[in-house]
Structure 1
């Protein structure tokens, strides 16, 4: 049985007591800034970690994830109604794929060919209503997988042959064969059934083929090896770590949430909503910008 390593060299990268559901961290190669969102707060944060300067863009609806664009200013965005672009402080809707008021976009990530993948879910997390979408910025988006609950963290292995997906309220981590040229998937099979405390939220993939999964409600980030075994744990000083990303410095940055916590719980975890950073001894699979 594999031993479980504890990663305890944790620090605060961005202190925040205003973000409600910090999510979707990504590094912008154009600026070097850490970019992340507040889903329910309808905000996009850009943090210069060297100076401590933060830029905040308020969006007109819930925003599940953003990603830098390769050849344009601003960001591609998965927002409540579908897909669009954020630039100069404004959201421009392009693909309104979710007009239903009970649905919204959630976490998203760009693949090696520059396509944006994002999950959607029912606001009450009704089973079977979750879907995985793919958008190239030009054609209408397509639903690649349906029948999920709360599709969340996404990632690909270094060889670009496997895609991973967390379905939070199913307590499952999935894997599927990935065909990068066409952007096609094989069948999603279960990599691991996660056990509490907490549910699997956002994730990052390292160059060794392991998944780093934020356990929302579990006070930790877990490292799963390619067979689905837990081989590492990062204790986090808040109840709701929400997602993570590897930075260009090789360290892992972890977002967190305050949403739903009582005043007593917030008093016990005053750093809830902040972003943390930890040394891991590995590096992440590079995350690409959006090509359109």
Structure 2
């Protein structure tokens, strides 16, 4: 027996996911489907699968599965895309909505463009936690890094030339560093002029991606902590850029960036 699943491919700063309205298309094994559908040649091709659902405590819920099938706690880029999806698809007419995630409830402020559709979204990512400098030890080429939790763990390393980093080689080694038994997201960052930061990312469970929203937040917080930038910075990633404000008034991190719909589609799912 086959079932047709409707999906929307979207990206935030190049961080692309497959979005499924789980209230209309319930999926029993999303981790396995994320692995299959994320493959670029035999699937749809993406960094993972995002399910949009109902919530008893917020307007909508989000579950996100990486390309390796593991479930992530939070993704800032995916959150922005959900904001665009629920508004443009008529699931809400409000420009402030709440989203239930494994990292808690996030507030999204939606900014419509001239065509009435959502162009950018600001996400209240909450307060960063467990801010500390870590000693990585010998054998990695990078002795010290900044640990920042944005609901998921990040290791930020500041380098003079981010393009010179062999991310494919060092990324998986740092992801599985003994200090982080559950794995960690790794960001390499270079300070540019004018409050801009160039960042490249190795995402836990997905590898090299075009962007990472929580990683951009962690990078901006780390840069402010070590006095390399002010509390507001633009983070430039391979797929695009976002503006991060670590607000003094409440200690929360606010991320503003674009959300782009790529296409709608259907994929057949064989069921027993």
Which has more strand, going by share of residues?
1
TM-score, normalising length: structure 1: 0.26
Which has more helix, going by share of residues?
2
TM-score, normalising length: structure 2: 0.28
Bigger RCO (CA 8 Å, 6+ sep): 2
Q: Which of structures 1 and 2 has the bigger CA Rg?
A: 2
